[in-house]
Amino acid sequence: MKTGNKRSLSSKLWLERQLNDPYVARAKREGLRSRAAFKLTEIDDKYRVLRPGARVVDLGAAPGGWSQVAAKRVGPKGRVVAIDLLDIDPLEGVEFVQMDFTDDDAPERLKAMLDGPADIVLSDMAANTTGHRRTDHLKIVGLVEMAAEFARQVLAPGGAFLAKVFQGGTEGALLSALKRDFAIVRHVKPAASRSDSAELYLLATGFRGDAPPADG
Ligand code: SAM
């Protein structure tokens, strides 16, 4: 069988998987913008971070699946502030800015939009891969670290941070810093996350805020 070059084979496999993916069909049926929406739904069904009235920041929000789920769950008294390099079609209950989160101005811009502390910082950001393993690894870790730093700056005590990481990609330093700043840190792999992908989520809950650590 003629398969063409590597890239066209992988695009073909991607398309095939996409067409046969029950989550893709379900997202379409339910008017959700991405199959990724089910990952957040699943995580939140289990850990209940998106409470009514909560204030949420969604980093790397395009095309908007997570923002849709978040806006629905926090309801009209809540707030969803979202950012992405790519534009998204407007979503009810979501304030969006098209911007690179790694821009110096981005954290301040988001804070101004929030106009107060956040209860949850979500990050489904994924850097474009270059194919160079070490470079890709550093880019991914860099984005998660920036997201975690931002979360520390904006979260109210008791707040939560949920971020996409990759198996083998969570640096020990980041994990220990999160364990210091949050009561519980866990790795979660929702069923909607393809089992053949190295994608994994890190969920940190119970942000300690500025309170000094209890040392007994
Ligand atoms: N959670 C989204 C949903 O449910 O529709 C899907 C997010 S997608 C997997 C990852 C997104 O991260 C992409 O849209 C990409 O543009 C964005 N992204 C990557 N690096 C970024 C950066 N530096 N600043 C802002 N967005 C970024």
Secondary structure of 150-182 in the HEC alphabet?
HHHHHEEEEEEEEEEEECCCCCHHHHHHHHHHE
C-alpha of residue 141 to centroid of ligand 1, in Å: 15
Which one of the listed residues 2, 12, 28, 164 is annotated catalytic?
164
The HSE-up count of residue 161 (CA atoms within 13 Å, CB side) is: 31
Q: Which atom of ligand 1 is nearest to the CA of 164?
A: 9
Checking if the pLDDT of 5 tops 70, the result is no
Closest by CA to 113, choosing from 99, 126, 125, is: 99
Predicted pLDDT at 125? 95
Checking if the pLDDT of 137 tops 80, the result is no
Checking if the pLDDT of 216 tops 60, the result is no
Checking if the pLDDT of 171 tops 80, the result is no
Protein residue with least CA distance to atom 3, ligand 1: 65
The 3-state DSSP class for residue 15 equals helix
> Please, which pLDDT band fits residue 161 given cuts at 50, 70 and 90?
very high
The verdict on whether 164 is a catalytic residue reads yes
Here the tokens at position 41 are 């739904």
Checking if the pLDDT of 211 tops 80, the result is no
Helix (H) or strand (E) holding 14: helix 6-20
Average confidence (pLDDT) over 157-168: 90
pLDDT per position as a tens digit, 31-87: 999 999 999 999 999 999 999 999 999 999 999 999 999 999 999 999 999 999 999
Q: Which atom of ligand 1 is nearest to the CA of 83?
A: 25
Closest by CA to 60, choosing from 28, 25, 102, 27, is: 102
Pocket test for ligand 1, best of 14, 66, 85 (most atoms within 8 A of CB): 85
Predicted pLDDT at 9? 82
Amino acid identity for residue 197 in this structure: S
Predicted pLDDT at 36? 95
> Please, which pLDDT band fits residue 14 given cuts at 50, 70 and 90?
confident
Specify the higher pLDDT residue, 60 or 21: 60
